[in-house]
Amino acid sequence: MNLIIVNLNDICDCFISSCILKGLRKKYKNKNIHIDCLVKNSSSSVIFKHNKHIRHVFTLNNIDKYNFNKYDMLVNFSQNCPTGIKADKNFGIGFSGNKDQFYEEVMFGNKHINKNIYQICYRLAGLTWRGEGCEIFYRPKFKNNNNITGMAIANSNLRRYITKRLNLNESTLRNIQYRKNILKKIDQINKYSNVITDDYFTMHLAVYLRKYVFFLKTLPYNTSIELFNKGKVITIPMQFV
């Protein structure tokens, strides 16, 4: 069975959508499944190219050179899916009628839903979420230090507020070094057993790395925040944002 996942959104969205890979393998485990991915650029391709369960990773900026065969199934997470990709069965945004039009408005608009983003990804792929998380198949270069808490907060007022609020010992606090490259970002986050952040992408990476996460909610999100029982969501007063 040949399947393609299309996600032309940013790298964070690509990382989140990787959660469906486990569900697809479970559902089609008896059908010799082969999975390809189409992403926006080489930066996003890193999400999938280390995954041993992915056959090919294509990028949009080189799409003209690819000769796509017809797939058995397509799962689309983008608002605009390239017309050159054909499949017998199509799932996701633009293919599932009025039911999933609502989920499109949640992902790209202002609709709010009392579900987490993993549940939405699974619903768009025609699957039922059973607690699966993201996967990237990358081994971090740095080991975890159980005695240190990492902070990824840009706002100095917010750092002071949350340090006092959580009664943290500053001698065991370190700033997580910023890295643009996702693999180097994972390396830095993995140094810490606890992670405090107001950054949505950093939060998802820390959850993937099984850290205890304090997520500082400074923005209204359209979905509920899922920390897999290893963390806490703290809503921050506007004066500290």
pLDDT number for residue 96? 65
CB 44 within 8 A of CB 181: no
18-46: b (≥16 Cβ within 10 Å) or e: bbbbbbbeeeeeeeebebbbbbbeeebbb
Residue with tokens 């996702």: 182
Mean pLDDT across the stretch 67-83? Answer: 91
**90-105 pLDDT per residue, tens:** 999 988 665 667 888 8
Q: What are phi and psi of 187, to 5 degrees?
A: -55, -45
Q: What is the mean pLDDT of the chain?
A: 91
**Rounded Cα–Cα distance for residues 104 and 162 (Å):** 34
What domains can you pick out in the chain, each with its CATH number? 2-124 (3.40.50.2000), 145-240 (3.40.50)
**154-197 pLDDT per residue, tens:** 888 888 888 888 877 766 889 999 999 999 999 999 999 999 99
pLDDT number for residue 80? 86
pTM for this structure? 0.93
Mean pLDDT across the stretch 206-214? Answer: 96
Of all residues in the chain, the percent with pLDDT exceeding 90 is: 70
Mean pLDDT across the stretch 34-61? Answer: 93
Q: What are phi and psi of 131, to 5 degrees?
A: 90, 10
pLDDT number for residue 100? 66
